[in-house]
Amino acid sequence: MSKYVCTICGFIYDEELGYPEGNILPNTLWSDIPSSFVCPLCGASKEDFEEQVDIKDSTTTSIKSNDPIGLPEGLDYTAMQLSAIFSNLSKGCEKQYESEMANLYQQLSSYYGKNPNKESNPNFEELQTILSDDILTNFTMANEIAKKYHDRGSLRAIKWSTQVTRMINSHLKRIALNSPEYLKDFNIYVCDICGFIHIGKEKPGICPVCKVPNIKITQIKRGA
């Protein structure tokens, strides 16, 4: 029998064991579980699970030591994108106890985040395309570069970012299918550390991605 792993938080469904807590009996095949099934830890949908495959050598990389990094050039960021980037840099510096640098990045984030132009008619399909490109291409490239330089901090950050991006993509799919009812009766919470988004009545006890306690999970006010 097979095992299926949640690509968001790592929860594993074992067909042999089933999931008695969710009234799924042992020896229940993954294909027999209804499409409405969600991850009991992070709330990801069934389509966000993948069959677990044993990888003998997870350190293999296709980048050669003399290959150029090949980062994209000519990027044109919006003010809100710059605000998000500097906010993330600020949080990274905070974790490294670089308080002065963290404060400077936060000032830049606040500057670029002033008076943002709100999107009145968001294009969910376009957003999903961007997120899918990140998952399939950009995070893979970044992960290979981090492996090349043995940068464990970057590898962890990329892993979190990939999981969070998958969760955001999952939310967008549900919103597109059931907008606006999907968000109507729930609160929105965001992890201050990794950016994980939780939609529910209450925030989880810990972040299912980076495992920080919920004191680091902030409720987002409507209209923010």
Whether residue 25 lies inside any domain: the answer is: yes
CB 39 within 8 A of CB 28: no
Whether residue 85 lies inside any domain: the answer is: yes
The answer to whether residues 50 and 5 belong to one domain is yes
Domain enclosing residue 109, as ranges: 77-117
Measured between alpha carbons, how far is 207 from 194 in angstroms, rounded to an integer? Answer: 9
Whether residue 48 lies inside any domain: the answer is: yes
Q: For the residues of 98-118, what is the DSSP string, one character each?
A: -HHHHHHHHHHHHHHTSS---
Measured between alpha carbons, how far is 87 from 82 in angstroms, rounded to an integer? Answer: 8
Measured between alpha carbons, how far is 59 from 82 in angstroms, rounded to an integer? Answer: 33
> At which of 96, 117, 138 does a domain end?
117
The answer to whether residues 11 and 41 belong to one domain is yes
Q: Which is nearest to 28 in space by CA: 53, 54, 3?
A: 3
Whether residue 23 lies inside any domain: the answer is: yes
Half-sphere CA count of 33, side-chain side, radius 13 A: 24
Q: How many structural domains are present in the chain?
A: 2
Whether residue 151 lies inside any domain: the answer is: no
The answer to whether residues 47 and 87 belong to one domain is no
Would the pTM of this model clear 0.85, i.e. be above it? no
CA torsion 49→50→53→58, rounded to 10°?
-80
Whether residue 12 lies inside any domain: the answer is: yes
Whether residue 24 lies inside any domain: the answer is: yes
Note down pLDDT in tens along the chain; length 224 residues: 899 988 888 888 999 999 998 899 999 999 999 988 988 888 888 988 989 876 444 443 343 444 444 445 555 777 877 888 888 788 777 766 788 888 998 998 888 888 666 656 667 788 888 888 888 898 889 989 888 888 887 888 888 889 999 998 888 888 877 766 777 788 999 998 888 999 888 999 999 998 889 998 999 876 54
CB 176 within 8 A of CB 124: yes
Whether residue 126 lies inside any domain: the answer is: no
Kindly report the CATH number assigned to the domain that includes residue 45.
Answer: 2.20.28.10
